[in-house]
Chain A
């Protein structure tokens, strides 16, 4: 035990004195968590909570422009701007501002669109009741409402703004048709409770309303925001980077000859390895703990929600420990299979990024193509991440993450066995 503790202490001291390594182990994941959580928090706000600024140019100055402006401004995700730098926007200015990326969207109502809209409505309603036809010239030249967008804008935002505009126009069209229909009905003396004036005062309302809420047990579920989802995910990602310094430490011992000295000691190598593993697992636990503290106390300074650990801190601790073992097992394997530090650091870093991408740390697994979703199931980061989602978002407990724990422990067992086999192979070959 004394020998294991001596190795534990020695490896912690080595890590402590490697300031660059410490930066990689602690500061980088912290920065990663901060940046990604803040960025994604903004993205989530942009897609749901904060308002996207949209330029609005009304060259028509008719009834329709006011109506579009009113309906679209009522949309919680959009803010319409009719002027820029103190000047009323023209179509040319709006186009230039969007093309340069200053703004991402502009809606332009061309001159004559209100009159055309009115005529078209009357024509359609008139056709229904056989009131006769509309003059041909009004149909020949069709003015269109333009939605200009910055080509750099991602599809999801484009779709959101386009849908908002179409929804608003559809609402206006429906309301207008309703008004005209009522006028037509009253002139045909069908009677009725509503006068045209009363109908025109009615704003389009939703008869079928929708409500968005998280599925699952509301008593258990935690807030599904960027902080709850990102911090465990990116902390796990950072944790797996322990594989690089651990592999490096093993390689240095091999290359600098310290291993030769260690191997003739009257101490089984597994004891030395256990000491080393304990030191690196402790670092992982500390690293994850710091990430959680950052989520709880640092990120809220930047306007994000406070991280909630949920009702099962023991389950979190067990999962973090198993993930740390898996990450360190991977480092052991890397350190015994690689022939140089460059190999270990390059392959280690890239493979962790690939594992994270496959595991759903960067893009949710449900958004991946089917083949990638299948591949995702072999990533240890996916096992860890699914466990953390269960605990941090769905409010699950130890029983819910049993499979994830078993998979991570299995991964540790397999990688440790491969490391031991590779170590024996090197010893036999005099390496």
Chain B
């Protein structure tokens, strides 16, 4: 079966940087799975997401999404992907509904389809009561859920989630993780970056641990932990990436 995403030997060096941000990154994500992309600060996770979601162009290497090459078929890939950035990438003075409607329109939704899809996203993320609140007046948890809703308003095949649960309470985090599992059941593929190892262990069927722009381990968490004699993902992570601080 064709993987949803296949990245091969990606390299990227930012102009003026001494070291490459990506140094031969390769990974494969199957259709319908939640794939965890883990790594310490500066490991290259955000750059990898940037390349895979068409924001950045790799110096070398190839990415295919749904068998479409990112270099040559970017415009065909973009409607298929969604992004939930680490920042609350919404317009603060617009309401939650206005934000979703705007991004939905840009994905080509209109009229009743748009309204219906916005309503679905609001219900799914538990934001019906907050639909008309301006984002700037919402709590951190509501903002995070709205950020997720904006990423899925067009029903993407592949969703990139860059630390979507940073800085929110347990209830909102629980709801978001439940939402993601629901989306997975509906057939959506996700690439998920997080620093919360218990989240990755709970959600992800497979993970890749990155360091210095490369994948240093890839596979099912249980198998990787067993292979290294670690009792949990946190221990495995520290075992592979070291205990020294990454500033």
Q: For chain B, residues 1 to 32, give those with C-beta under 8 angstroms from any C-beta of chain A.
A: 14-15, 21
Q: Does A18 make an interface contact (CB < 8 A)?
A: yes
Residues on the B chain within 8 Å of A10, using CB: 91, 94, 98, 102
The distance in angstroms between the C-alpha atoms of A257 and B54, with both chains bound, is 15
Name the residue of chain B whose CB is nearest to the CB of A258. Answer: B89
Which residue of B15, B75, B85 has the most chain A CB atoms within 10 A of its CB atom?
B85
User: Is the beta-carbon distance between A266 and B94 smaller than 8 angstroms?
Assistant: no
Given A18-B93, A264-B55, A2 contacting B105 (CB threshold 8 A):
yes
Contact with A along B161-188 (1 / 0, CB 8 A): 0000000000000000000000000000
Residues on the A chain within 8 Å of B81, using CB: 264
The distance in angstroms between the C-alpha atoms of A265 and B151, with both chains bound, is 11
Name the residue of chain B whose CB is nearest to the CB of A266. Answer: B78
Q: How far is the CB of B73 from chain A (nearest CB, A)?
A: 12
Residues on the B chain within 8 Å of A44, using CB: none
User: Is the beta-carbon distance between B103 and A261 smaller than 8 angstroms?
Assistant: yes
Chain B at the A interface: SS class: loop
Residues on the B chain within 8 Å of A153, using CB: none
Q: How far is the CB of B237 from chain A (nearest CB, A)?
A: 25
User: Is the beta-carbon distance between A257 and B15 smaller than 8 angstroms?
Assistant: no
Name the residue of chain B whose CB is nearest to the CB of A256. Answer: B87
Q: Does A260 make an interface contact (CB < 8 A)?
A: yes
Given A10-B91, A429-B15, A430-B56, A3 contacting B75 (CB threshold 8 A):
no
Residues on the B chain within 8 Å of A427, using CB: 55-56
Residues on the A chain within 8 Å of B242, using CB: none
Name the residue of chain B whose CB is nearest to the CB of A6. Answer: B105
Given A3-B105, A14-B94, A265-B78, A430 contacting B50 (CB threshold 8 A):
yes
User: Is the beta-carbon distance between B91 and A257 smaller than 8 angstroms?
Assistant: no
Q: How far is the CB of B94 from chain A (nearest CB, A)?
A: 6
Given A6-B102, A14-B94, A430-B50, A263 contacting B55 (CB threshold 8 A):
yes
Q: Does B110 make an interface contact (CB < 8 A)?
A: yes
Q: Does B90 make an interface contact (CB < 8 A)?
A: yes
Residues on the A chain within 8 Å of B96, using CB: none
One of B14, B21, B85 near A257 (C-beta < 8 A):
B85
Q: Does B209 make an interface contact (CB < 8 A)?
A: no
User: Is the beta-carbon distance between B54 and A264 smaller than 8 angstroms?
Assistant: yes
Contact with B along A260-295 (1 / 0, CB 8 A): 111111110000100000000000000000000000
Residues on the A chain within 8 Å of B21, using CB: 430
Q: Does A17 make an interface contact (CB < 8 A)?
A: yes
User: Is the beta-carbon distance between B14 and A429 smaller than 8 angstroms?
Assistant: yes
Given A260-B83, A261-B89, A13 contacting B98 (CB threshold 8 A):
yes
Q: Does A428 make an interface contact (CB < 8 A)?
A: yes
User: Is the beta-carbon distance between A256 and B105 smaller than 8 angstroms?
Assistant: no
Q: For chain B, residues 118 to 148, give those with C-beta under 8 angstroms from any C-beta of chain A.
A: 134
Q: How far is the CB of A249 from chain B (nearest CB, A)?
A: 10
The distance in angstroms between the C-alpha atoms of A265 and B94, with both chains bound, is 19
User: Is the beta-carbon distance between A266 and B87 smaller than 8 angstroms?
Assistant: no
The distance in angstroms between the C-alpha atoms of A26 and B151, with both chains bound, is 36
Q: Does B150 make an interface contact (CB < 8 A)?
A: yes
Given A3-B105, A264-B53, A264-B54, A13 contacting B87 (CB threshold 8 A):
no
Which residue of A261, A427, A429 has the most chain B CB atoms within 10 A of its CB atom?
A261
Residues on the B chain within 8 Å of A260, using CB: 55, 83, 85, 87, 89
Q: Does B88 make an interface contact (CB < 8 A)?
A: yes
Name the residue of chain A whose CB is nearest to the CB of B16. Answer: A429
The distance in angstroms between the C-alpha atoms of A17 and B92, with both chains bound, is 10
Name the residue of chain B whose CB is nearest to the CB of A19. Answer: B93
Name the residue of chain B whose CB is nearest to the CB of A431. Answer: B14
Q: How far is the CB of A391 from chain B (nearest CB, A)?
A: 37
Q: How far is the CB of B19 from chain A (nearest CB, A)?
A: 14
The distance in angstroms between the C-alpha atoms of A264 and B52, with both chains bound, is 10
User: Is the beta-carbon distance between B89 and A3 smaller than 8 angstroms?
Assistant: no
Name the residue of chain A whose CB is nearest to the CB of B77. Answer: A266
Q: How far is the CB of A99 from chain B (nearest CB, A)?
A: 56
User: Is the beta-carbon distance between A257 and B88 smaller than 8 angstroms?
Assistant: yes
Q: How far is the CB of B117 from chain A (nearest CB, A)?
A: 15
Across the A-B interface, give the 10 residue pairs with the lowest CB-CB distance, nearest first. Answer: A257-B87, A257-B89, A266-B78, A6-B105, A17-B93, A261-B89, A266-B79, A257-B85, A258-B89, A265-B106
Known: A7-B102, A261-B85. 5 other contacts (CB 8 A): A2-B105, A256-B88, A256-B89, A261-B83, A265-B103
A residues lining the B interface (CB < 8 Å): 2-3, 6-7, 10, 13-14, 17-18, 256-258, 260-267, 272, 427-430
Q: List 10 A-B contacts (CB under 8 A).
A: A3-B105, A7-B102, A10-B98, A13-B98, A17-B93, A18-B93, A256-B87, A261-B150, A266-B79, A427-B55
